[in-house]
Amino acid sequence: MSDGGLNVTLRPQTARVLKRLAANPGQLVTKNDLLNSVWTDTHVTDDSLVQCISEIRRALGPSNSKLLVTVPKHGYKLMASPGHNFEAEVKSGLSARQNQKRLRNAFFVATAAVVLLVAGTILYLRPLDTTLDGPVTLAVLPFANLSENTGQEYLSVGLAEDLLTDLSHNNELTVLSRSATFSYRQFDDAAEKIREELGASHIIDGSVQRDRERIRISVQLVDTSTGATVWAERFDREIGELFDLQDDLRERILGELLAEFGLNEAYAARPADVRAYEMLLQGRYFEASLTHSGVVEAIELYKRAIDIDPSYGDAYARLANMYDFMSRYGWSASAEGDRALALEMAERATRLDPENPFAHWSLARILSRVDGSNESAARAINHLEHAITLEPDYPDAYAFLALLKIGNGEYDASRNSIEKAFGLNQKPPSWYIRNRGIISYFEGNYDAAIVDFTMSAEMNPTAHFSRIWLAAALARAGQTEDAEWELEEALALGAPDTVDAILRSNELIRDPSLRSEYSEGLRAAGVPD
């Protein structure tokens, strides 16, 4: 199978587990069934099966790993259509693009509003609030890449992302988040779906075509209530005039929609050279894969952007996050060295571009984990609050601030912050949901915590963070067998294996009583000291 363009070879046992699951699409396959059918003549422990499940999820990749669902105390489900030949796909090593296309056709995806079967109990997930304020609610779709070179997709996606960011700085305009809208690109009736599901009054759709040093962008503004095109225009420019083109595009859209409102120009400073910006767009494209290879590629591209323009604050902020990823996920030769580089790059970003909210968010994120001290945590909170001052509707800042606040034992402030984040991001990522679960855990609402940790784990099954928290919450709720199951999965995914090691990896939880509460949940789940 392929993940982010890299072929993944499965071990024979793992391929047999996958074959068994694929032969029963959407059906529960019990642990005993898998153990007996795959290891017919050999006795193995449950750990062998868990390792195979983890390997299959890594092979499916970040976008599709959630389709392999764990049903605690019972077994697993592969949410695929009948007749899909996974075994052939494993052997052929399809490219990422081919694999994703086939998966889209073969799978049906469970959304965050579905009912989860957990430990035999139906847990109804809390619906997201899609009530939107303001005279205009705007959704931006990723632009279609019409260039002959498919490698130019970073440009079409990046331009749409930056248009979304620029438009969101107008306080009279509600702009839906990237995570809420970009997945609608695949639908022919995107305008109708976005209106019904997200409440958008207008969408921006377009395409990008590049031919060497010339670029053509076609854009249309659509009224979702009627499907009518309010405005459409085509821009033909030299690639060196890209910034002027972006300014024209933003002002034309705002001019059509909001003639009575003023423009807000408080967006991140641009580099002196458009080539640096192009390197940044390419880096963001690779960064989004959340794979080791993607992060390594992004680092090199951000470095090239800085070589072209040493004063490019946004590139330093992006580079800081990549070094932090390398350190946190065990991808670096020296975790301590990469952590120091991350801090250095993030601090430089805020000095070079002090009005850039993302730079302050990046620095806060790194400071919060650098040494676990109260001083670093206080600095992190200050930078997050400054990011919110610069951009009052910055959902990521509120979501991360919520975690820092609960770490200090500030229950009300933490709950208010996470609710603000969910109100601003209509399709929150898994880490928002995990943070909300952590707050519920420390509030003693273990049932709500279990719902959120389960949802977060299913959204990002290859990460162990949510499963460790889920194990602790299940144990505190008296569901010890389920907790042991989740702990097995977390350990197979590389989670720390002692209470002390887990606490060291959660330095954000600083309040002694909360650390004690978390420790008790871990011990009850079976984690040794």
H-run or E-run covering 319: helix 313-328
CATH number of the domain within which 233 lies: 3.40.50.10610
Report yes or no: 327 and 338 within 8 Å, Cβ to Cβ: yes
Pick from 103, 6, 102: which is nearest to 64 by CA? Answer: 103
Between 385 and 4, the more confident residue is 385
Q: What is the pTM of this model?
A: 0.63
pLDDT digits (tens, 9 = 90+) for 184-197: 877 777 778 888 88
pLDDT for res 346: 94
- Residues 434, 311, single domain; the answer is no
DSSP state of 147: S
pLDDT digits (tens, 9 = 90+) for 369-406: 887 788 888 999 999 999 999 888 888 999 999 999 99
In a domain, 132, yes or no: no
Q: What does pLDDT average to over the chain?
A: 77
What is the arithmetic mean of pLDDT over 454-469? 86
- Residues 452, 495, single domain; the answer is yes
The residues pairing with 162 across neighbouring beta strands, listed in sequence order, are none
What is the arithmetic mean of pLDDT over 302-327? 91
Alpha-helix runs per DSSP H in 329-373: 335-352, 357-370
pLDDT for res 441: 95
Q: Does the pLDDT at position 111 exceed 80?
A: no
- Residues 149, 230, single domain; the answer is yes
Pick from 335, 308, 315: which is nearest to 323 by CA? Answer: 335
pLDDT for res 167: 75
Torsion 357-360-366-369 (CA) sign: negative
In a domain, 263, yes or no: no
pLDDT for res 380: 93
Which residues, 6 or more positions from 489, have their beta carbon under 8 angstroms from its beta carbon? 50, 53, 54, 70, 464, 467
Confidence of residue 20 (pLDDT cuts 50, 70, 90): confident
Number of domains in the chain: 4
In a domain, 121, yes or no: no
Between 508 and 272, the more confident residue is 508
Find the Cα–Cα–Cα–Cα dihedral 194, 196, 199, 202, rounded to 10°.
Answer: 50
- Residues 361, 417, single domain; the answer is no
Backbone angles phi, psi at 436, to 5 degrees: -65, -40
pLDDT for res 517: 93
- Token pair for residue 502? 């887990």
Structural domain boundaries, residue 199: 137-257
Q: What share of the chain is helix, strand, coil (3-state, %, to 5)?
A: 60, 10, 30
pLDDT for res 161: 82
- Token pair for residue 404? 């820092």
CATH number of the domain within which 80 lies: 1.10.10.10
What single letter denotes the amino acid at residue 105?
Answer: N
Q: Which residue has the tokens 């009052």?
A: 392
Q: Given 95, 110, 125, which residue is the final one in a domain?
A: 110
For residue 339, CA distances in Å to 335, 343, 395, 496, 510 come to 6, 6, 25, 19, 20
- Residues 157, 240, single domain; the answer is yes
3-state secondary structure (DSSP) of residue 93: coil
Q: How far apart are CA 166 and CA 267, in angstroms?
A: 6
CATH number of the domain within which 514 lies: 1.25.40.10
Q: How far apart are CA 65 and CA 461, in angstroms?
A: 6
3-state secondary structure (DSSP) of residue 286: helix
In a domain, 102, yes or no: yes
pLDDT for res 43: 65
DSSP state of 217: E
pLDDT for res 269: 58
- Residues 400, 513, single domain; the answer is yes
H-run or E-run covering 233: strand 229-238
pLDDT for res 299: 94
